[in-house]
Amino acid sequence: MVAEGTPELVMQGLAVTRAIHDRYRPEERNPYNEIECSDHYARAMSSYAVFLAACGFEYDGPAGVMGFGPVIQPENFRAPFTAAEGWGTFSQRINGG
């Protein structure tokens, strides 16, 4: 839903992500074992997938292409990224177009 990028679907996707997080609160259960996301350590991967979708992160190492198309606050956006040969922070600020 987040990857689709429409405001309504982004909000619904974030609501689903939050509901899963709240269902498996670390105070009450193992925070790395959510049934909806398979078993054992899948939560980190599913959360990271939502993060990548929210960043609109695209990466093709062999082609030498990296891109961002943030769907949450694109006018003032900053996020970390990782790639095969390094990592860093991407930021963008859009002022009046």
Confidence band for 23, pLDDT divided at 50, 70 and 90: confident
The reported pLDDT for the residue numbered 51 is 92
Domain ranges of the chain: 7-93
Angle between helices 42-55 and 7-23 (to 10 degrees): 160
Sequence-distant (≥ 6) Cβ neighbours of residue 31 within 8 angstroms: 24, 25, 43
pLDDT tens digits for 58-75?
A: 999 999 999 999 999 999
Question: At residue 28, what are phi and psi to the nearest 5 degrees?
Answer: -115, -25
**75: three-class secondary structure by DSSP:** coil
- The per-residue pLDDT for 40 is 57
